[in-house]
Chains A and B, each alone.
Chain A
Amino acid sequence: MRLALEAAFWLLALASHWLLPEQLPLLGQVWIVALFVLSLDLLVGFAGVLTLGHAAFFGLGAYAAGILAQQGWGEPLSGLLLAALLAALLGLVTAPLVLHGGDLPALMVTLGLSLMLAEAANKLPGITGGADGLLGVEMWPVLGLFRFDLFGRTAFFYALAVLFLLFLLARLITASPFGLALRGIRGNARRMPALGTPVRARLVAVYALSAAYAGVAGALLAQTTQFVSLDALSFQRSAEGLLMLVLGGLGALYGALLGAVAFTLAHHILSEMSPLFWQFWIGVALVGLALAGRGGLLGLGALLLRRGRA
């Protein structure tokens, strides 16, 4: 039953290529955003570490991959790898600062760090292109075979394939003893040291992992759009990521994916009417979700399923 649903999800994702042939660039974006939300889910949903600055890793990955290609090495996979490594490294370095004590310092330190990075990118136009964005990103074909095309076909498959592989890895990790320990930390961080768990070490590990995922997502964006803007590092991105995660369902991998899909599609439809309209309704959605409590779309689905059976 569970496996069948999972297969259906991925088949539908693949089939969207033929179902919505006009919307390939948008769908490519959906997979990238989904990967970003997945990275947040690993950190916030499973380990219970709060962050308001996850865009820092997304942006770092985006600029890393973008600059690499701009400097003449346009091979996509090595770009992803570089982005993952750099983001993980930043995660490792900043994790001790973030995990210094409690939710509040974590929220503020992550926010502060991401703002620092955004401001640095803004003030170093020689490297990042500043407010004009990073131009001149030229990508080579994926695996030397598939050129990035104007219709976003290669981008669609490339992003979906990366998402799928990293999703499988996340699925493996979250079901492992390490994953169980993370959920234990989220469930009761006071008990874990009394079981002998080095809580700090586990959290640093998942922080770096989550950072690497976000970095890959950013790199995918840079490579598929062949452009990076300051937007990649914005607070808005961090906040929207959290919204999507909660919308889909915290601490469940498919929740992250569903949230990203639902949010991006709604964004596309509503902001065509009016960007203000969109901002207003996103605000209402956030307030409503917070008041209603957790579970998100996935929780709602499970509830309906149970009702249906009963």
Chain B
Amino acid sequence: MTALATEGLSRDFGGFRAVAGIDLVLAQGARHAVIGPNGAGKTTLVNLLTGALRPTAGRVRLGGEDVTALSQHARVKRGLARTFQINQLFPEFTPVQAVTLALLEREGLTARWWRPVSAHGAVVAEARALLDSLRFAPAEMRAATRSLPYGRQRLLEIALALALRPRVLLLDEPAAGVPPGESRAVLDAVAALPRDVTVLLIEHDMDLVFRFAERITVLAQGAVLVEGPPAEVARDPRVREVYLGEPAHG
């Protein structure tokens, strides 16, 4: 069954075509990576998939449903979660508060104003359990997010998406900027994602891509250059050209 698909997805900025007719199909449970050099259109693609941007042409389908016209939050409600390339966290909140907020939102409770958060005990307990499974120490759970080390913040970024219990998860360079000493926890979290979750990984880091992805799409200048299993993509001369600047027959 198809979990996420695009058909002829395109986006222009003025006269510039950032994304040009991309077709993607992700089966349920897929481990799919999108790679490409800077300016290949990765960020625009993410924004089109999540609904932050509207496409100039083409459609986005989520589990068979056409979501092209839906807002970001409506797509999230249909099972599409994401992480951000640059942390989008709540600096003043503790991790427990932030994850609790995500869980309350998943349960559709954030319009409720007549009971305090503390009365939703099960939700708060679930937040703690989730953070615990990502090996947050109790003291870290209670500290303000901005005081946490960068690697922990990166992990919280993933935790917020996981809390939504997504069917499709979009990971935008999850390990970007994490110092080597702290990256282990992030990579473990990615590796431990439940098998039934469909994962689309947008990455720069080839190690992570080749370790994790079962299928790879290479973007160049807004269009799909190559798509296939990792071994095939690695051998493809066009990919080498785009990445290394080597001539295709050199």
Contact = CB atoms under 8 A, between A and B. Distances in A.
A and B touch in the complex (CB under 8 A): yes
Interface of A: 172-173, 175-181, 183-184, 187-188, 190-199, 201-202, 205
B89 A188 contact: yes
- Which 9 pairs of residues, A with B, have the shortest CB-CB distance? A196-B76, A187-B90, A193-B72, A181-B110, A175-B116, A178-B113, A191-B88, A176-B113, A177-B104
A196 B105 contact: yes
B113 A184 contact: no
A199 B72 CA distance: 10
Interface string B182-211: 000000000000000000000000000000
Given A194-B76, A196-B164, A180 B97 contact: yes
Contacts of B133: none
Contacts of B90: 183-184, 187-188, 191
A205 B111 CA distance: 9
B109 interface: yes
A188 B90 CA distance: 6
B112 interface: yes
A187 B84 contact: no
B238 interface: no
Contacts of A194: 50, 72, 76, 81-82, 84, 88, 160-161
A178 to B, nearest CB: 4
Interface string B101-124: 110111001111111111010000
B136 interface: no
Nearest to A184: B101
A163 to B, nearest CB: 19
Contacts of B102: 195
B93 A184 contact: yes
Contacts of B104: 177, 180-181
Q: Select the residue from B71, B104, B113, B164 with max chain A CB neighbours within 10 A.
A: B113
A193 B77 CA distance: 10
B76 A175 contact: no
Q: Select the residue from B97, B109, B110 with max chain A CB neighbours within 10 A.
A: B110
Contacts of B52: 193
A61 to B, nearest CB: 21
Contacts of B72: 193-194
B73 A193 contact: yes
Given A175-B116, A187-B92, A198 B101 contact: no
A176 B115 contact: yes
Contacts of A199: 73
Given A191-B160, A196-B73, A172 B113 contact: yes
A247 to B, nearest CB: 20
A202 B106 CA distance: 15
A176 B93 contact: no
Nearest to B102: A195
A180 B73 contact: no
Interface in B35-92: 50-52, 71-73, 76-77, 81-82, 84, 88-92
B164 to A, nearest CB: 7
